[in-house]
Structure 1
Amino acid sequence: MVDATLLVQLGVISAYLLVALGVGVVAYRLTGRDAEDYYLASRSLGTVVLLFTTFATLLSAFTFFGGPNLAYSAGPEWILVMGLMDGILFAILWYAIGYRQWLIGKVEGYVTLGEMLGDRFGSKRLRALVAGISLFWLFPYVMLQQMGAGEAIVGLTNGTVPYWVGAAFITLFMIVYVVLAGLRGVAWTDTIQGVFMLGIVWVAVGWVLSSAGGFEAVSASMAESNPEFLSLGGGVYSPQWMIAQAVTIAFGVTMFPQINQRFFVAKDARVLKRSFALWPVLVLLLFVPAFLLGSWAAGLGVSVPEGANVIPVVLNAYTPAWFAALVVAGAMAAMMSSSDSMLLSGSSYLTRDLYRPFVNPAATDEREAWIARFGVAAFAVGTFVASLFRPGTLITVGSTAFGGYAQLALPVMVALYWPKTTRQGMLAGVGGAQLFYLAHVFLPAVTVGGVTILGSTYLTWDFALYGMALSLVLTVGGSLITSADADERDEAFTVGTRAD
């Protein structure tokens, strides 16, 4: 006989996701067939929708499950990295990079980052390089969502439903949703899910505190069982590690295809300015309660099964089954929003930056749309297969992808603000930094005569930061020693200083 609690849990999750799918169907009916409407919602988003679609797109498994898991094992200081440091740093970068991109994209009609850089520097190679890098690092981050969904189902059902079922379910859902909805549907569901998650996580905190005896009792339990959680530093939380995480995550987020494309979609300048001003507040309102739940679970002696996430486990222990399922359903839907946005943006990079320029320049919009749908399905199935091998923790997989994207950020900033940037400088900066980063991710450490030649850190600082510095040196240095070719269009980016 099927357990009644399990039926309630799966029923709540299924009902929630069907509502999200219904929003996608409505959006499909209202979405035009042209690329600008499908990928950018005709650059028409207002403050609330832009803010929450960006917010929900970042509510990935890395944030909502990986962060609390780290807080459970190492303490709540992850709040400083994600809540304070990245909340503020990303808001600054949203202004420095996003506002400039919006100004340029509004005039030039760009849809992707690769399209913008390729046109500015008159280079299909640069366009393909940026698109290829973006798709390469998108693979582990989509896989991360499937891993998070699988682990959430294991934690919620105490292992009754296996990991692969959750991962397969989110894969199927994301394929169907992206094919239907386009950015308009993704943005609508993002807004609903962002507001829902913001409210439900505070209800969860209140419910757990009430059931566990109140804030003082929970804090006392944590102080007794994990006293190191109440002091700054120690363990994994060294200043160098925390700064490196904050920098690579914030800079990496700006280059995520699904985030970077949102720099193009604001209705006007006021929408953008209000959005990045409100961003740090929104981040703190979600991250603080989510990471505290992970830390409190350790103090309360909650045992997390292997391959599970702490949030559904602690909610199962201190709240009714239906409520725990509702929170997990919302989190899974938020992860699907992240995945949907990733696949939607990835399909635009595939079709506009690779397929059209190199395979079929004369392709019709209809043919491009079918290539995009096929690409979405193939990409999602590939990441699902990879997720079954569990290549690392959610934090490890996510941090690796963030670091890869972060290598793009400084060359892009240089190109946006320095008219003397050249094609050769961009190719050197983007390509050289990626080679450096890939070597450190995939090759074993090398030590010669006691000196680290290839390692995870240099002078206690993460190699990703050195890769970012290298990207800056190569971009600026390469531009200084080369001349712009006749087909480079520096005037394409000067619009950012003229228009508003």
Structure 2
Amino acid sequence: MELAFAGWSGVFILLMYGAVMLGVGVFTYLKNRNVHESMDEYYLGGRGLGVMVLFFTFFATQYSGNTVIGYPATAYRLGYEYLVSVPYFIMIIVVYLLFAPRMYVMGKKYKLLTPVDWLNKRFNSKSVSILAAFLMLYALGNYLLEQFVAIGQGVSGLTGGTIPYQVGVVFFIVIMLIYGWLGGMRSVAYTDTMQGIALLFGVFMLLIGSIIYFGGIPTASDYMEAYSPEKLGFQRGRG
């Protein structure tokens, strides 16, 4: 009985979450319907989303399902060896900074909408533009499938299996398509901001909870030393 109640409480939370995201899409559409047909507005949020909105949008996009489903599971399997991921993630931002400022300046100067527009202007070649588009779509497709897995696992876990994996994925795909179609980039950015704040809050709560209830890193190290000592160090390559 308690498990059933926990499952349906999870269903209620997810329905409310979906309703809020739809509400953001509808609100954005109604507020900007006079400029709805503007390419800048629809695809770039009018080029004026603000620093905090962009920060949480990038935060939610960069980490999102990985933070909840992917990285913790990998860290659990590998142990301290997975600390190597920290400089990897830092390097992502460093690489961004190598080209993003220049692209930002050029994007504003020439009113570019997509990275392919920049490549087309730089190389003036349809072949290069088409190849770049396919490569970026391939990368996005891989990332998109990863998010679907995270959605399905999250919904199934939060509802205690009351909502099957596949149903949760389809439900949120429909929600995302609707608010993305209605409000374009602006509604996506606003919903991402909401998700980014929730994600950041959740990460800090998990960190604090792990320290208070499980003893934090020292206790985890003692546990690994007793039961999985191989997770305390890096694995050496086999000759």
TM-score (norm 2): 0.86
Aligned residues: 233
Is 1:192 paired with 2:202? no
Cross-structure match for 1:409: none
Q: Give the counterpart letter for 2:50 in structure 1.
A: G
Cross-structure match for 2:126: 124
Cross-structure match for 2:24: 23
Gap regions ≥5 residues in structure 2: none
CA offsets 1:249-297 (integer angstroms, 9 cap, x no match): xxxxxxxxxxxxxxxxxxxxxxxxxxxxxxxxxxxxxxxxxxxxxxxxx
Give 1:178 shift. 1.1
> Whose helix proportion is higher, 1 or 2?
2
Gap regions ≥5 residues in structure 1: 239-459, 461-500
Identity of aligned residues (%): 33
SS at match of 2:112: coil
What is the RMSD computed on CA atoms of the aligned residues?
2.4
Contact 1:53 1:190 survives alignment (8 Å): yes
Q: CA 1:76/1:17 → structure 2, altered by over 3 Å: closer, same or farther? A: farther
Q: Distance in 2 between matches of 1:63 and 1:208?
A: 16
Contact 2:24 2:179 survives alignment (8 Å): no
Cross-structure match for 2:113: 111
Q: CA 1:159/1:6 → structure 2, altered by over 3 Å: closer, same or farther? A: closer
Q: Give the counterpart letter for 2:87 in structure 1.
A: L
Contact 2:11 2:163 survives alignment (8 Å): no
Is 1:52 paired with 2:91? no
Q: CA 1:26/1:137 → structure 2, altered by over 3 Å: closer, same or farther? A: same
Q: Give the counterpart letter for 1:173 in structure 2.
A: I
Cross-structure match for 1:161: 163
Q: Which residue of the other structure, out of 60, 65, 72, is the alignment partner of 1:68? A: 72
Cross-structure match for 1:260: none
Cross-structure match for 1:95: 97
Q: Which residue of the other structure, out of 70, 85, 88, is the alignment partner of 1:85? A: 88
Cross-structure match for 1:205: 207
- Higher relative CO (Cα under 8 Å, sequence separation at least 6) belongs to 2
Is 1:225 paired with 2:227? yes
Give 1:78 shift. 2.8
Q: CA 1:115/1:192 → structure 2, altered by over 3 Å: closer, same or farther? A: same
Q: CA 1:161/1:219 → structure 2, altered by over 3 Å: closer, same or farther? A: farther
Q: CA 1:184/1:99 → structure 2, altered by over 3 Å: closer, same or farther? A: same
Q: Distance in 2 between matches of 1:197 and 1:61?
A: 10
Larger CA Rg, structure 1 vs 2: 1
Cross-structure match for 1:14: 15
Q: CA 1:45/1:79 → structure 2, altered by over 3 Å: closer, same or farther? A: farther
Give 1:59 shift. 2.3
Contact 1:114 1:127 survives alignment (8 Å): yes
Contact 1:146 1:166 survives alignment (8 Å): no
Q: Give the counterpart letter for 1:70 in structure 2.
A: T
SS at match of 1:75: helix
Runs of 4+ in 1 over 3 A off after TM superposition: 154-161, 208-212, 216-219
Q: Give the counterpart letter for 1:43 in structure 2.
A: R
TM-score (norm 1): 0.43
Q: Distance in 2 between matches of 1:152 and 1:115?
A: 36
Give 1:195 shift. 2.0
